[in-house]
Amino acid sequence: MRVNSPNGGILPKMSKLFASLDKITAKSHYFCAMIKRIAHTLLIWAFCLVAIPALAQYTDHRNRKTDSLEMVLESGKTLNDADLMRAYEGLMWGYLQTDGQKSEHYAQKAVELSYKMDALNARTDALRILGLNYYGRDDYDKAIAYYNDALAATELMKADKRYTEKDIDDNLSALYGSIANVYNMQDKAQLAIHYYQLALPIFEKHQWMESTAILYHNVAELYNSMGNAEEAERNELQSLEAARATGDSLLIAMPLKVLAKHYLGQGDIAKAEEAVQYCHEYYSRHKAEEPDDYIVTLTTMARIQLNHYQDVDKAETLINEALECVTEETWSETAGDVYNAVCEIAMERKQWRKAEEYAWKAINVGEEETYNDLGSYAYLAKIYAELGETQRVNECVNKVFNGMEAFATSNYQSSLSQREVLYETEKKQAAIEQLKKEKQWLTRSTVLIAIVLIMIALLFFLLWRNVRQSKKNAVVKAKLDGELAERVRIARDLHDRMGGLLTAVKQNVSPESQASKLTDEAIREMRNVSHHLLPDALQRYGLKTALSDFCQTMKKVGFAFYGDEKHIENEEVIYCIVHELVNNAVKSADAVHINVQLIVNEETTTINVSDDGNGQVDPESEGSGLRNIRERVEAIGGRMDIYAKPAEGTEINIEFKNTEP
């Protein structure tokens, strides 16, 4: 499975700006499907060689002729369980690509028979076929459920001497890859990486270098989609090393195509040209099989000429060739990148209307809006500034700003959700391991079994309760760390990248124009948002100054401080909690006045946030927002109390014990 990272020009800068958005490109979906088809085909061939000959005495169905296999089942001949299982397996694989309902039917039959035969490996295969069928229907929840059932069956194989380590590794690597593919298709990059990395040691142990090369490339592209360029490059280099060990030119070209963009973005032109030259030599010989990759290679070469050598003519020649290769079958991301490159060249030649045309083509080429489109809107802002169309400048700037905020929010929520899934997965795995150990111990117990069982049950309960509490605290702490890191990253990106973009727009419009005033307002608002996410005053002057500055910017909010001015522990977390409480009151309470009080004495710090709003808060059934705040308060040793009356307002009181920061 191969995926493309965001492309050259301004788009790498925009992709870094949206570093943690976890958005994998449309081409990832294409390669998921492609590899799935290839895997199915290979497995069908493998089954033809090892499974079907056992049924040869019945009819001519040794090449997995599904109709012949069905004739065997319908002939009335009595088959033993082993032959019947082989027939079911042949049919469930054989119909996988042509008739999903029949494939599912025979897979269910195989699962039922596997319990009668106690055939764990056959059960795993059948469950995986069921998962693949639901995966093909985009029913990802059911696919994951069947894959997990198959993993459970494989776990049982570990204690069964009938199965070798190779049997177990084959199942685990296939299932981990299948689960990762599901999460990849759902744009859940963290979960996909987790399961790909579970498969990686198995590939390396058995020296499956082709699979290792593809897996490292997949992980690299997922890191790239998350904005982690360092991890992306490291994994692409690992992919390249494994690919070179195979000698497969396609596997070598895959990471080099991406590394060429990385090197171009880093300004290492020598490495970029070396990588893209290899790709050009390979893909130019395989245009028919790899048309999109050839287009991407030409586009990268054009950007090297445009951005490094300032050779506009050569860049235009290359991008025109790429443009001629674009068809209705070309993936939207690839086509959009070509259109953006045409736009960049037109802007370089000051052909503003042509640049405008291709920027809009890049935006409209796909059905859904992506963060790459924001790069096109940034181009359009500059183009309209040059054309003096100030209203359109403002519209494009707003598009970029609002899009950034929407993608950042979506990414943050997705990241939290994926962390929770990983936590639950690890908890289940720990429970499975614990149950295995308990079973082994019980089989060896012969004396005082009743007393020992009672002691173990008590010990298990105490350990389980402690582990559960520890893991709950750990996941909440991880959420807090992630939220703080996300706030710092978004604040930095807003200030450094968006600020630079807006300043560039301002320099291209008349100082007296309405567009200039709107741009100034956007810059001020951007700086306010950046400052409020996690202000510098928090570290320099402490919690009191940071909260005072924040409240002064809010029209309805008053602030009061009592006690000792000193730094306390967890000031960043406390600031974020107050920030969220005030925003909740502003948005949801319909309050006229909101009061924030900070009281710091020798032993405790108290936060009080009160409003005169609608008081529509039920402390007994608080919403997810208040539950999240309560979890954060408790994770750092605090206590939160809520007092609310309808039409009279709400008061939230939070208290922490002080320790030195």
The string of pLDDT tens digits covering residues 221-260 is 888 877 788 899 999 999 999 999 999 999 999 999 999 9
Q: pLDDT at position 36, please? A: 37
pLDDT reading at 347 higher than 90: yes
Q: Kindly give the pairing relationship between strand 649-657 and strand 557-563.
A: unpaired
Please give the Cα distance from 256 to 300 (Å, whole number): 12
From CA 358, how far away is CA 354, in angstroms rounded? 6
Q: What is the pLDDT of residue 380?
A: 93
Q: Do the domain assignments include residue 593? A: yes
Q: Is residue 61 within 8 Å of 52, Cβ to Cβ? A: yes
| Whether residue 550 sits in one domain with residue 495 | no
Q: Are 187 and 20 in contact (CB under 8 A)?
A: no
Can you give the pLDDT at residue 358?
95
Is residue 610 within 8 Å of 650, Cβ to Cβ? Answer: yes
Do 611 and 542 belong to one domain?
yes
- Is residue 248 a part of any domain in this protein? no
Pair 491, 552 in one domain: no
pTM for this predicted structure: 0.52
Establish if 91 belongs to a structural domain: no
Go through the chain and tell me how many residues it has: 661
Whether 196 is in a domain gets the answer no
Domain region containing 621: 536-657
550 lies in the same domain as 642: yes
Which one, of 197, 198, 256, lies nearest residue 222 by Cα? 197
Give the pLDDT score at 252: 95
Q: What is the pLDDT of residue 519?
A: 67
Do 503 and 575 lie in one domain? The reply is no
Give me the pLDDT at residue 112, please. 95
What is the 3 state secondary structure string of 245-285? HHCCHHHHHHHHHHHHHHHHHHCCHHHHHHHHHHHHHHHCC
CA angle 380, 384, 389 (to 5 degrees): 145
Rounded Cα distance, 250 and 559, in Å:
63
Distances (CA, A) of 50 to 85, 114, 518: 13, 19, 71
What's the chain's Rg over C-alpha atoms? Answer: 30
Q: Is residue 450 part of a domain?
A: yes
Look at strands 557-563 and 594-600 and give their pairing.
parallel
- 610 and 567 together in one domain: yes
13: burial class by Cβ within 10 Å (0-12, 13-18, 19+)?
middle
Lowest-pLDDT choice from 31-40, 123-132, 453-462: 31-40
* Position 115 in a domain: no
Answer yes or no: is pLDDT of 608 > 90: yes
- Residues 543, 639, single domain; the answer is yes
Tens digits of per-residue pLDDT, 371-413?
Answer: 678 889 999 999 999 999 999 999 998 888 887 776 566 555 5
Considering the chain, what percentage of its residues have pLDDT values greater than 90?
A: 38
Residues 649 and 540 occupy one common structural domain:
yes
Say what the pLDDT of residue 400 is: 84
Please state, rounded to an integer, the average pLDDT across all residues of the chain: 78
Best mean pLDDT range from 64-78, 269-283, 477-491:
269-283
- Report the CATH number that the domain containing residue 572 is assigned in CATH: 3.30.565.10
Work out the average pLDDT over 331-355. 94
Does the structure show a pLDDT above 80 at 340?
yes
- The dihedrals phi and psi of 136, each to the nearest 5 degrees, come to -65, -25
* Residue 25: per-residue pLDDT: 30
Better pLDDT: 650 or 482: 650
- Strand extents, DSSP E, 448-536: none
Percent of the chain residues topping a pLDDT of 70? 72
Nearest-angstrom CA–CA distance, 146 and 558: 55
Q: How far apart are CA 437 and CA 298, in angstroms?
A: 57
Q: Which of 489, 507, 525 is the last residue of a domain?
A: 507
Mean pLDDT of 596-612: 90
Q: Answer yes or no: is 633 within a domain.
A: yes
Q: Is the pLDDT of residue 597 over 90?
A: yes
Q: Tell me, yes or no, whether 169 lies in a domain.
A: no
Q: What number is the average pLDDT over the span 13-24?
A: 30
Chain CA centroid to CA 180, Å? 11
The lowest-confidence range among 402-411, 463-472, 483-492, 556-565 is: 483-492
Q: What is the mean pLDDT of residues 286-315?
A: 94
Say yes or no: 499 and 551 in one domain. Answer: no
Q: Are 604 and 655 in contact (CB under 8 A)?
A: yes
Overall domain count for the chain = 2
The pLDDT of residue 499? 57
Domain endpoint, select from 491, 507, 523: 507
* pLDDT, greater one: 47 or 251: 251
Per mean pLDDT, which range of 9-13, 77-81, 429-433 is the poorest? 9-13
The residue assigned the tokens 């956007």 is 522
Residues 501 and 569 in one domain: no
Which of 507, 527, 545 is the endpoint of a domain?
A: 507
| Whether residues 554 and 599 fall in one domain | yes
Q: Looking at residue 502, what is its pLDDT?
A: 61
Residues 644 and 603 in one domain: yes
